Amino acid sequence: MRDLKVVGLDVSGRHVICEADRPDAGSPDKFRLPLNDQLRAACRGEQARAGQTEIEIELSTKLRPKDIQARIRAGASVEQLAAACGGDHDRIQRFADPVLLERARAAELATAAHPMLPDGPSVLTLLETITGTLIGRGLNPENLAWDAWRNEDGRWTVQLVWRAGRSENVAHFRFAPGAHGGTVAAVDDAAFELVDPTFDRPLRQVAPIAQLGLPPAEPRPRRAPVDGPRPAPAGVPPVTAPAAAPVQAPAAEAAAPAEPAAKPRGRGRAHPAVPGWEDVLLGVRSGSDR
């Protein structure tokens, strides 16, 4: 085996130029070595790393499968992890699939748990309680999105996403597995409103209006009253007030109505005088003819 000595770098700086330590007659042969991680590790004495291939070195610089699964279990998605670490999406997906199934199973178990109320666990499950609440609000309880992830303390956080009109609502619960399905506790106000119908959200405090340090406004001078009509502007003929109509004196009392004229007597037809029985007996006429 021939010994080589380093002469220097080439023009590009990516290769190391070497030549024979004891050249034979004539000009010595020169050799070129690629300046890569494997050569750098060999120069530093890292024998284990120097024996790795280039592909193995590239993989070792990325996230390990254990780290990928730990981040996915903590709530990260495959897309978020691939964008943050610059790794291969398919490679991350391969290690994340088992953990995603674990998260989906935890969310499914949480829907069968019993919500914690002020007087103890509810008889209904979380899914039954939320379904009744949404139906009471006139919403569709079918379009619910459940998710779960494990916190650093080992407990599970369950997330529920539902839509009301055009708004997207999110509620979070703390899931504790146990007997009879375990229990869930509301974490935020949205979760309390879903599981506890008697929950009253505290009113927001109204802060007093800050007084601005502005000087008081000076009173505006009042205009003196002007006697008489105001002068008309230039070019506008003056308006003459109409003359007052004469006031008529009250009419004299109407004369008493005249008495109605006597109704003329109709001329009756003259009836012949009928002689009484004395006239007939004595043979004389009654009245003036007697």
User: Please, are residues 190 and 119 in contact by the beta-carbon 8 Å criterion?
Assistant: no
Instruction: Report phi then psi at 171, rounded to 5.
Output: -135, 145
Contacts 24+ apart (CB under 8 A), 192-195: 193/133, 194/129, 194/130, 194/133, 194/134, 194/160, 195/115, 195/117, 195/122, 195/126, 195/129, 195/130, 195/133
Instruction: Tell me if residue 217 falls in helix, strand or coil.
Output: coil
Chain segment 219-241, per-residue pLDDT in tens: 777 766 655 566 666 655 665 65
Instruction: Report phi then psi at 135, rounded to 5.
Output: -65, -40
Give the residue from 67, 127, 70 showing the smallest Cα distance to 102: 70
Instruction: Note the Cα 63 to chain centre separation in Å.
Output: 39
Mean pLDDT computed over 273-290: 62
At residue 30, the pLDDT reads 80
At residue 267, the pLDDT reads 54
Q: Is the pTM of this model over 0.75?
A: no
Percent of the chain with pLDDT over 90: 30
Query: Which residue type sits at 74?
Result: A
